[in-house]
Structure 1
């Protein structure tokens, strides 16, 4: 121990004797295609230079959804600090896993000529931490990129190897809000990064394409909207369009052709010198890595994400999710919010899911053979919570309606069962009350077809579906078909002449005659 201490001291003394020596360990060159983000950069440059707070080693985190451009912002910030502070060393540490973290520390130690850094059993992380923690090592900025995995920084001791010096500053990038809070210890030190503005997104797209490829303004705008102004998705689309020499109109057509085509496009790797070579960079892969992290440490959150991808993307009420205890539910939703997969409406228990994340999740479920299973689970839960539509509970069923409709459209391999037919009937009745007769007719026809197939034509539930369909046909003025179905239901009379359902059929037929003046 005495020898090692002496060696560290020697390294620090050498650094002290050459104060003008600046070290630069950043694995990328400056990104000449970087655009926008000026407000975020100005905020960063007011926080991260070591001289900003002479009494502390400040910590700052930029957080946001995978693919939102955190690494590129950090890279540009590092170059701007380097330009503005010639005596400030800049070190870059990828934190994808423990190995990449340790390798980066070893590279720092080698450039600082830390004695013993190349020994077989050397603790490179401890050696570098000790050197950088000495103020005589000068000013430095340490960028810890992709600090996403809670296990690395929460459950292991990697965070213990972060140096402390009043002449130092640490900038983290993370897609996990929980990790950000763990590392910087204050919400005030976290800068959220969201999708680009439309002007920034257009400028980024134009960087990689020729004028004739973006000549159709409407298609270009629609494509940026489809890609949610997400920088990585734009770069990926731009790379594909540039390589294949196609226009935004043609690329948009591919995206709109099918979900499978879209995911294939979002899953294609592309060359980018400003991203890590050994890590795949497609958008879909970026999110899949996040989902795997979630599955490992919060299975309920992963299940909620699977569940929510079958619902309409906006205003998802918390009450529609499978109950699992209030605390567990809050924790699980907090995990999904931490990764920016979902966002919560202010002062409301309703959520939005990112549209491209939703699409990616559906395709992962299809590829793993789980889509049918989860579609059935979602429909069963909706059948449990969707009330019989009445005026007094109108707000409740209207809130569930778009999600139920979306789930019904995505169902696969769930063509029978009381849950499905009951749900179709209630949705049909809801549309009927709202005056959406064509949608109501479509739902009631599906319910009737399934009940005839599963229960038979004379089952009471089948007769109910017949009456529901005839009623909505009557509302549309389709009197001949409505009368035929009413008479068919009445003619069966399986419940007896005085059963309420039989009397309802008689009343419905009489009402239809009255509407026609008959």
Structure 2
């Protein structure tokens, strides 16, 4: 066994973390014996203080096996630890028995390979594998680029000592898995079954004569369990442990360890391990924005980190803007890095899963990309057509199985930011893109129309889930709104916030409504009247009467010019302007407008109409304020 492999084994035996292992191996390498801690820290791309802290933790863990380390100075601890390990490596009389070689074919590390933020998952994985009575099959599932293979590889390296019978790594996408097993047994254990035997018999011979001790079999990148795994499983025995990495989701009969994206702090840690720390310190908030934009996906983070390392003069802010503009097509994440283990760029990784979807699931993925990056309500049970409901259910199940969609709770789902970009890219490539976007806009408008001018608590709770998606429609998909429905999402978003007293959130939507309507429909359109009235109403509610008055006046003049003097919209405009004058104490200006609004509404709507009742009530209120009680009482 080589010294470096021996050190890795010792690290696993003493339960060192990945960070501690890196410092320990670097410090104990023969060629580094004369180097300072500062120099080694620099080579690991960490600070000297961090390196010293990790080595202190290493000494503490090894002190359990070598008590003499506990009472030594740091330099003395290093020399004593080196002496103890050297004696053990050489099989000296005072050392523990020499460790026998553990046969394995774990994929070798690649230059600057980083593994961070998975300590909890590693512990869970080990617990699941060790607690199973017979064959433990643990699916490390997750979408492309989430780090499934890296987690399995890191686990195998850290726990090598647990598997004295060897670690056999099998590529499900390589040559026949059965052949791979035979080659491993032949090369590592010299087990050669007769050539004239059937493959299954030769494989059975290998299992029966396999080296003693627990064995770990890793089936990497499984896409078809029945074909790639099931025929090659070892006999049921507690000593054989089986680990899968797969994009698929299995049912509960197969123990699983779902693997998600990194936590924000771990994502920053991964980026720091690849990019000069001072560079990130100068723009920490931009670095965090980049991590968030990438959805904390390990593959994307590593690609961007390595890209930045090759572009030392590129500012983080410039890269952030370019990523937001070009998205998955930017070279930083579009192409695989030849120095990395993973052979795909982000879009290529997602494409592998995309190709496994049928047409219905692909269409659903494209449709979901039009929603905002927020919880997506998909009330499938509301679909009346049973056949269509079943199509939706299967499409959702297929997306979930390949981890292209995340289930939050019953009927609520979510897309990863980069998968959403990938689906949008696929939609834009489709000949049906405009049709899909137009249909989405029409459906969203139907939801928007459910928002009343004043919402109660229950309505607010029920509608809140839809607000981000209506905002997405109003921001990016408004060109697909019909002229008739153009103002609906803007108006209803304004009402939603205004009704809760959230005036600052309401104002931009009502302002955009006016500008967009003018730009698209021209200055002479009834929608302009409605938009002006809504914005003026907001200013009136917030006490900005000077802003409200000219808008109400414009709305009144335009409604008369477009619709004539006798129209309900004219009556509403008269009523609104009168209400503003009443608020500001201009009672003489308010009275004739209220009277006109009342007479016009009676004429147009009849004596028995709610708007007539409102007009009567408001005119009476004006008389009450001015002390004209005789005029008020009959009204």
CA–CA separation in structure 2 for the residues paired with 1:162 and 1:383: 54
Matched, 1:208 2:274: yes
Shift of the alpha carbon at 1:172? 0.5
2:366 is matched with 306
Contact 1:467/1:489 (8 A) holds in 2: no
SS at 2:420 equivalent: helix
Shift of the alpha carbon at 1:451? 6.9
Match of 1:71 among 140, 149, 158: 149
Q: Give the paired residue count.
A: 463
Shift of the alpha carbon at 1:273? 4.5
CA–CA separation in structure 2 for the residues paired with 1:48 and 1:271: 33
Shift of the alpha carbon at 1:496? 5.9
Matched, 1:134 2:202: no
Matched, 1:502 2:583: no
Consecutive unaligned residues in structure 2, runs of 5 or more: 1-99, 187-191, 587-635
Q: 1:273 to 1:368 in 2, by over 3 A?
A: same
Tell me the TM-score normalized by structure 1: 0.76
1:423 is matched with 489
Contact 1:375/1:407 (8 A) holds in 2: no
SS at 1:173 equivalent: strand
RMSD (Å), alpha carbons: 3.6
1:24 is matched with 104
Match of 1:482 among 544, 551, 556: 551
1:11 is matched with none
Q: Deviations over 1:400-430 (max 9, x none)?
A: 2221111222227526443444334433443
Shift of the alpha carbon at 1:432? 4.2
CA–CA separation in structure 1 for the residues paired with 2:426 and 2:382: 21
Q: 1:373 to 1:48 in 2, by over 3 A?
A: same
CA–CA separation in structure 2 for the residues paired with 1:48 and 1:282: 31
SS at 1:92 equivalent: strand
SS at 1:191 equivalent: coil
Shift of the alpha carbon at 1:204? 2.6
2:242 is matched with 170
CA–CA separation in structure 1 for the residues paired with 2:325 and 2:429: 10
CA–CA separation in structure 2 for the residues paired with 1:202 and 1:493: 59
Q: 1:40 to 1:484 in 2, by over 3 A?
A: same
Match of 2:471 among 405, 408, 411: 405
2:64 is matched with none
CA–CA separation in structure 2 for the residues paired with 1:320 and 1:465: 35
Matched, 1:196 2:262: yes
Shift of the alpha carbon at 1:241? 1.0
* Higher relative contact order (CA closer than 8 Å, sequence separation 6+): 1
Contact 1:34/1:204 (8 A) holds in 2: yes
1:107 is matched with 180
Consecutive unaligned residues in structure 1, runs of 5 or more: 1-19
Tell me the TM-score normalized by structure 2: 0.64
Q: 1:417 to 1:245 in 2, by over 3 A?
A: same
CA–CA separation in structure 1 for the residues paired with 2:531 and 2:293: 39
1:354 is matched with 416
Q: 1:101 to 1:505 in 2, by over 3 A?
A: farther
Shift of the alpha carbon at 1:69? 1.4
SS at 1:438 equivalent: helix
Contact 2:113/2:340 (8 A) holds in 1: no
Bigger Cα Rg: 2
Matched, 1:231 2:298: yes
Shift of the alpha carbon at 1:223? 3.3
